[in-house]
Structure 1
Amino acid sequence: MNKQDLRVQKTHQALITSFSDLLQTKSFEQITVQDLCANANVRRSTFYRHFNDKYDLLNHVVGTLIDHFRKLYLPDINPDNPRQFFEKLMRDVLTFIHDNKDIVRSVITLNFYGEVYTIFYEQIYKAVQKQIEFDRQSGQFYVDVTIYGEFLTGGILSVITNWIQHGQQQSIDKVTKEIVNMICGAREVHLKKLS
């Protein structure tokens, strides 16, 4: 990598960091290109070499966020302890959201929410399906896997969205515990009734 490429990358990253920093004190609508440039210590012309406008920057940041979430490691099924599986899943998802809270909060208030919600839904659904499918194949669970998976995933995302919209006032551990208790409670009801 040559010196020019490194400088371009540093400037690009400085603009992204500036954007993230500004989201802590301003809404997306309040942030101007001038704010971004002043905070990143770059000229407006430099900004426009990297991005068309602040919406282009937001698109880039959201795309990166989605890529990172898709790469989030989904825990392996623990046949003897599904609670442990769901605790790891929820803690990982909530930690990811907490670590990116300013961007995620902005995304929820803008038109990108549908796209991000879909990606979050797919990833959580995929993980939930792993455990449900194991239970079904082992003969412990006789409910429709798709409906039950959608029910759990929808509930999980509703709780997470509410948590984000209310400023993540409850700890990750508390939200994880509550969600996992509900999931495992529903699972046990079906296991007992259908055994």
Structure 2
Amino acid sequence: MESSENTNLKFLKAFSELLETKSFEQITVSDLAKKAQLSRRAFYNHFNSKEGFLRESILIIFDDITKILNNDLLYEEVILKEMLSYMYTNKEIIKSFVCFFPNIDNIIKDYIKGMIIYSNIPDLHKQLETAYQVPYSFALDIYISTIESIILNWIDNDFTESPEKIAKYITSVVRI
């Protein structure tokens, strides 16, 4: 019996491959199952519908990333490399979601914001205000937007740079 994570990953990969040739509306559950080399029953054991799959898919990706980031809530460069390596390994899936998913910029920004706010970065409030010389809400937005911009640029450029290089860019540009 396959693990739930492995099954989800197969459906995610199948979905990203199908998006290269079909629109979301044209993709059927049968298409997904066939491409993933799994049964329709396997699909419905995990998801209620194609739309449910879409909603769950982004959560699956964020859940995997969160598991990595939760290993070091200070978000040191080592953990950033690990997270970026996950993205690089799954670049076809990540790229298709960034290109396809409505409002992905806002979803990513909200995700980063949540992760930063609930991190273990000491004196986050004070550090951001000191580093950017503006009130906290502005400084937090600058910090988050910088990280988001680097990651989305990397994705838009087909993951040309290594995860290590992108981690260096992030740690050298953000000010805390």
Aligned to 1:157: 148
Aligned to 1:4: none
Note the residue ranges of structure 1 that are not aligned, 5 or more in a row. Answer: 1-6, 78-84, 188-195
Distance 1:45 1:88 in 2: 40
2:81/2:163 contact within 8 Å kept: yes
Distance 2:107 2:116 in 1: 15
Q: Are the structure 2 counterparts of residues 124 and 44 from structure 1 closer, same or farther at C-alpha, using a change threshold of 3 Å? A: same
Aligned to 1:18: 10
* Residue in structure 2 matching 1:176, options 163, 167, 173: 167
Partner SS for 1:130: coil
Distance 1:129 1:159 in 2: 20
| TM-score in terms of structure 1 length | 0.64
What's the RMSD between the two structures over aligned residues?
3.6
Output aligned runs, 1:98-137, within 5 Å. 98-108=88-98, 109-111=100-102, 113=104, 114-124=106-116, 126-127=118-119, 130=122, 132-133=124-125, 135=127
2:64 aligned with 1:73: no
Return the offset for 1:19. 1.9
Superposed CA deviations along residues 91-121 of structure 1, whole A, max 9, x for unmatched, are 2442342244333223222126233431133
| TM-score in terms of structure 2 length | 0.69
* Residue in structure 1 matching 2:32, options 36, 39, 46: 36
> Percent identity of the aligned residues?
22
Return the offset for 1:38. 1.9
**Number of residue pairs matched by the alignment:** 168
Note the residue ranges of structure 2 that are not aligned, 5 or more in a row. Answer: none
Return the offset for 1:60. 2.1
Rg larger in 1 or in 2?
Answer: 1
